[in-house]
Structure formats: structure tokens, C-alpha cells
Amino acid sequence: MTETAHGEIEPVSPKQAAAADPYFPANGDHRWHAHRYELTLDYRPGPNRLAGSARINAIAGPVQLREFALDLADFRIGRVLVDGRAAHYAHRGGKLRVKPAKAPAAGAAFTVEVHWSGNPRPVRSPWGGLGWEELTDGALVASQPVGAPSWYPCNDRPSDKASYQISLTTPSPYTVVTGGRLLTRTTRASATTWVYEQSAPTASYLVGVSIGPYRAVPLAERETGQVPQTGYVPAALRERFEHDFARQPQMMWLFEDLFGPYPFDGYTVVVADEELDVPVEAQGLATFGTNHVDGARGAERLVAHELAHQWFGNSVTVGGWQHIWLNEGFAKYAEWLWSERSGGVSAQRKAEAAYRQLLGLPQDLRIGDPGRRLMFDDRVYERGGLTVHALRVALGDEAFFRMVRDWATTRRHSVVTTADFTAHAARYSPHRLTPLLTGWLDTGALPPLPVLGPAGRAGGQ
């Protein structure tokens, strides 16, 4: 890298690059770990103007940290401090490369402070724009998998989880919603500052924000013994929302019974006043579009899917994107379990329908490592659900549900891989599960349809 006005910053070494996520090797920096982000933001919806400062409490890796990088899109940088001292930096290509005045020692705690401003916009990806999205009247964040740098500086890799405090100031007519606990809301003149705390470890792509003229709709209160659940919706959609999301508290009861205690302080859903292709997943928060609220519960499976992600994907987070089936397979199967337990179609019938769908598609995708281009392919979701169903058939209901609950509870707030899961599942079966899991995860051709018999016993393969 050439000399800049802020000093020479060395590029990432081949060894460091080898430790990166294989799907997104340019994202994140394994030389350091974020422990906590404190973001102070001011957003003006009309001109789509964002000004922010980030204070990041971090820990250096196993060598002295002579330089390191953060992921941040094309903003104007005001200043960068490391442990309170001005640092040299270079900012281009979505990377903010920092050279501290005094390098933190190996394993040492240090702080980074970054000030930035500009017009946030989605970052480019194979799936279109990701991250901060300006709406007709407000904004939302949809970062999965690499959109977080569109609005704040971060170590953008799913395995780098940290706590967050977000202070966001907007004009007072707007409501600010994030996936944490609201600490304070302060109005001065025509602006209101909302301060949220997310104390649970959170991956950068799971930090969600929605800004708009929303009305709060309580769905469940702590006083009832339920996890607090609130909706934020445009006033005109309130009646349809209350009908379509009326059974979400029942879903929460069921999933807590099946998967263990809900892993966060509360759960919030937002309905943006625009159509969205798919709901937006974030930690403690899900954002739906107007097309997902029809007054007839036409998208109820998606309500279950996004809620299940709070256990599978958000609390138990994949260490790399090649393991994405662990997120989507369990969320898909949660849809089927909700249908089965709420008087709808059984999980077996859902599995049969998914199997028929997959038979009509190319059988050339290994969902255990689908590749970046196909990581969001429908086959990852459907075959992922079938993989979970095949385990239920192999283990029987008693062992299967014990296995799933133990996975979600013992791995709470952790980072996992497919190998971690297969080793975990093996402890609940007297027989080797390797052939079954290899067939579903690591080969293209579909294995035979798993058939669930009475009381969760295998009914044939």
C-alpha cells in the first residue's frame, strides 16, 4: 500500500488472510476482537444524512497490534483515536486501516474511537444492496451477511460478537427501534434521542435499526410471565398487524418449551411502510414489509421463522458463512413445528412437500458448504429443514428434542460450526450419524425421504 497523508499502513499478511471467512475474505480482521461498541448517531431522514462516533472496546490478538483494520463504507472520516491518541489511517475500498501511535501489546485491551459522516447507502453484494436502506419516510438496516459497514465501523465477521449501546438522534416525529432494551428517550427542541442497550454478544450483521413514523403495539408484557414483545407499525396497518401477529406469544411459549429460554431481554417486530422481498433478521428484532401483513395470517410461517432465528443464528451464531444451514435449517424446521403444534399440517407433511420441491430442482448443491453464490438458495433452507427432520426420524422425538434444546442452551451466545453440531448430535444416538449427515449435508443427490412414524419413531427410510 502506498504512502498516504495519514501514514503508511501495511496490508494484511497471507497468514491473516487465510484465517478469514472463506466466503468473504476481505471482511473482518482476525488480529483483534471487539468487546463492546458504543455508537452515538445523528440521522436526518430528509437529506439522508448520518453523522456518528463509535467507541470500540477491543482486545488485541496474540501478537502486538502494530496495525489493524475496520470495515467501513465510503464516509468522510473526522478523526481516529487509539487509546485516546491520534492514529494514522487510510480509508478506501471499504477498509479503514489504522496504525496506532502506540501499538497495543498482544492480548491487551484497547479502545478505538472513530468519527464519520456522510450519506449512508447499501453496500454492493451478489444479492443487491445490503445494510442501511433509505425508505420513503425513514430508514432500516438489513445487513445479512456483510452490510453492517454501510453505517458504522466494525470488525465485520459473524464470529466477532460484542455488546452494543446505540444512541440515535432523529427528528421527533420519528420512532427509533433497535434490537435492544430502551434505556432512555429524551426530547430537546425538535429532536429526540433514543438510547438502547444490547448486552448480549451480537454479531455485526445482526445489529438492526428501523426509523419511521411507527406506533407501538404491545403483544406480550413481562408482567404476564411472557418475554416482552412489542410491534411497531404504521397506524393504518395496526388492525391487520394485531390479527396476523396475534399468535406470536403462543409461538414464544412453544419455542421456549422446545428450544429453551428465550436468549434476549425482549423481542420486537417492525412493519416498515414499504414492501420487502423477505423479512429482515436482526438480534432481538425482525422487520417485515407491508406485503407480509395481509389480515389473513398469510405470512405466519415467516413470523415463526424469524422468531426461531433468535435461538438459531442470533444466540447460537455460525463461525463462518459456510455453516449457514445451521441457521436456516433450524428456522425452517421451526416453521414446520409451529404448524404441527398449532393444529396445522404436520412436520412430516411439510417434509414431504419440501422433498417434492427439491426433486424438481438440480441436485448439485452441498448445503454443508454451499458456496457464497448459493448460500441463500432456497435449497439450503428446504434441505436444511429436511436434514433436521431426518435427525428427528433417526433419534425419535424424546432424544431429538432433548438434543435440540441442549444445543440451543449449552451453546447460548456462542459461535459454532457444522462440526460442533454433528459432534453434539452424535451424543444422542446409539448409532453412528455420520452416514446420515454426510448424505444430507455433503452430497448433491437427495437421500431417501425421512418418514416419521408414531411417537417420533422412524417409520422407514
Which structural domain range is residue 32 located in? 1-211
C-beta atoms surrounding 443 within 10 Å: 15
| Residue 218 falls inside a structural domain | yes
- Residue 358 CA, distance from chain mean position: 26
pLDDT in tens, 287-324: 999 999 999 999 999 999 999 999 999 999 999 999 99
Residue in the structure block whose three cell numbers are 417485515: 288
**Radius of gyration in angstroms for the set of CA atoms belonging to the chain, rounded to a whole number:** 23
Shared domain for 250 and 389, answered yes or no, is no
Shared domain for 245 and 185, answered yes or no, is no
Residue 459 has pLDDT above 80, yes or no: no
Q: Give yes or no for a contact between 386 and 349, defined as CB atoms under 8 angstroms apart.
A: no
**Count of domains observed in the chain:** 3
- Boundary of a domain, candidates 160, 177, 211: 211
Shared domain for 332 and 264, answered yes or no, is no
Q: Please report the pLDDT score of residue 224 as a whole number.
A: 79
Shared domain for 207 and 268, answered yes or no, is no
pLDDT in tens, 29-50: 999 999 999 999 999 999 999 9
Shared domain for 187 and 264, answered yes or no, is no
Shared domain for 75 and 207, answered yes or no, is yes
Residue 8 has pLDDT above 50, yes or no: no
Give the confidence band of 19 by pLDDT, cuts at 50, 70, 90.
Answer: low
The CATH number linked to 367 is 1.10.390.10
Residue 2 has pLDDT above 80, yes or no: no
Q: Please report the pLDDT score of residue 11 as a whole number.
A: 39
- Boundary of a domain, candidates 211, 245, 260: 211
Distance CA 194, CA 189 (A): 14
- Boundary of a domain, candidates 310, 341, 364: 310
Q: Give yes or no for a contact between 178 and 198, defined as CB atoms under 8 angstroms apart.
A: yes
For the segment 185-202, the average pLDDT, to the nearest whole number, is 97
| Residue 461 falls inside a structural domain | no
Residue in the structure block whose three cell numbers are 453412528: 432
Shared domain for 27 and 110, answered yes or no, is yes
| Residue 377 falls inside a structural domain | yes
pLDDT in tens, 386-432: 999 999 999 999 999 999 999 999 999 999 999 999 999 999 999 99
Full-model pTM: 0.94
Question: Diameter of the chain by CA atoms?
Answer: 71
Shared domain for 205 and 193, answered yes or no, is yes
Give the confidence band of 165 by pLDDT, cuts at 50, 70, 90.
Answer: very high
| Residue 163 falls inside a structural domain | yes
Shared domain for 108 and 197, answered yes or no, is yes
Q: Taking all residues of the chain, what is their mean pLDDT, rounded to a whole number? A: 94
| Residue 398 falls inside a structural domain | yes
Residue 9 has pLDDT above 90, yes or no: no
Per-position DSSP letters for 326-355, written without gaps between them: HHHHHHHHHHHHHHHHTTSS-HHHHHHHHH
The CATH number linked to 115 is 2.60.40.1730
Q: Please report the pLDDT score of residue 18 as a whole number.
A: 41
Residue 358 has pLDDT above 80, yes or no: yes
Shared domain for 54 and 34, answered yes or no, is yes
| Residue 83 falls inside a structural domain | yes
| Residue 370 falls inside a structural domain | yes
Q: Please report the pLDDT score of residue 307 as a whole number.
A: 98
Shared domain for 275 and 392, answered yes or no, is no
The CATH number linked to 244 is 3.30.2010.30
Q: Give yes or no for a contact between 96 and 112, defined as CB atoms under 8 angstroms apart.
A: no
For the segment 349-376, the average pLDDT, to the nearest whole number, is 97
Shared domain for 264 and 334, answered yes or no, is no
Q: Please report the pLDDT score of residue 260 as a whole number.
A: 98
